[in-house]
Amino acid sequence: MTSHDRQYADARYLSQLLVSIAEQAKADFADTVAPLGLPIHLARAVLLLDQPAPMRDLADQLACDRSYITNLADQLEELELVERVPGQDRRVKLLALTKKGVQTRDAISKAVAERSMVLQRLTDAQRETLRPLLELLAGQE
Amino acid sequence: MTSHDRQYADARYLSQLLVSIAEQAKADFADTVAPLGLPIHLARAVLLLDQPAPMRDLADQLACDRSYITNLADQLEELELVERVPGQDRRVKLLALTKKGVQTRDAISKAVAERSMVLQRLTDAQRETLRPLLELLAGQE
DNA sequence: TATTGTTATACTCTATAACTATA
DNA sequence: TATAGTTATAGAGTATAACAATA
């Protein structure tokens, strides 16, 4: 086996690990927010709305179409977690958390952190080591 | 901010990084296998069929319903990548890669490794450091 | 009785295209 | 003309339930 082959085998193995970790993380997230009555995308949107944000921005962050955000926003309004507020540019609508939305966001945030694999399976030192590697992988160098 | 709070903030940050890396990895995988004419789940199934395996096992590994595997198997047979072969237990059908299936698996495998973030963004040493941390996260201790 | 794979069907997620109102 | 959000619609992906064959 050449060193080249070994690199490839290594890359494949790590990629598989990443995929399976990601799937587990996603499933954990879904399980964590389900008791709050929220499907995964609604919960993610709530977490992203730390500040009121244009619907367009949300579409970028969730990597989906604007029309789908309309859909999510309708559901979030129905649940009274979010309000549409007009922006300075009058084409724009901002999504802003309601009081109930803020409470929900805090609850999600806490539940997610408590149950996270990252907290349960790694020590402080291990997390410190992991962080820069993930940042490199995420492409924020 | 208490040390407790900091741990939580840390866990949230790392979790977010993992999620965004996973999404990127998934999109990269889809882009990589698209030229081969394979949607993501078909490609994953082909990669998993290193050995002929009962359809049931595939359902477990892909975390989906058996009926969906029937669906995938039909498509893979249509593409002549896979054959259904009877198992010793006569209820069971194994999926086995055809010659073309093996070639396709090798092509996918190579393309995925070449384009993987893990290979492109990390040095050998960084991958060595990352491996045990991912293994802990994946729960294979 | 429990399990494997299949079928038919239905539901969820998400995008596309055409529209409106602003800019 | 280009952009933000909306609407209606369609497609992909995936599950559920009932079933046949086998254990």
**Which chain B residues touch A125 with a CB distance below 8 Å?**
none
**Which residue in the set A11, A112, A122 is minimally distant from B116, CB to CB?**
A11
Q: Write the single-letter amino acid at B51.
A: Q
Measure B69 CA to C1 C1' (Å): 25
Q: Answer yes or no: are the C-beta atoms of A127 and B10 closer than 8 Å.
A: yes
Q: In chain A, positions 77-116, which contact chain B (CB-CB < 8 Å)? A: 109-110, 112-114, 116
Express each pLDDT in A95-108 by its tens digit: 999 999 999 999 99
Cross-chain Cβ contact A14/B127 below 8 Å = yes
* C-alpha span between B129 and B117 (Å, rounded): 15
pTM across the whole model: 0.85
Q: Which residues of chain A have pLDDT under 70?
A: 1, 141
Q: Which helix (H) or strand (E) holds B97?
A: strand B93-97
B66-78 helix and B40-48 helix, angle to the nearest 10 degrees: 90
Strand order in the sheet with B82-86: B53-54, B93-97, B82-86
| pLDDT at residue B92 tops 90 | yes
**Which residue in the set A25, A127, A133 is minimally distant from B130, CB to CB?**
A133
| Nearest nt by C1' to A65 Cα | C15
| Nearest nt by C1' to B56 Cα | C4
| pLDDT at residue B141 tops 60 | no
Cross-chain Cβ contact B21/A136 below 8 Å = no
What is the Cα gyration radius of chain B? 19
| pLDDT at residue B109 tops 60 | yes
Express each pLDDT in B21-40 by its tens digit: 888 888 888 888 888 888 99
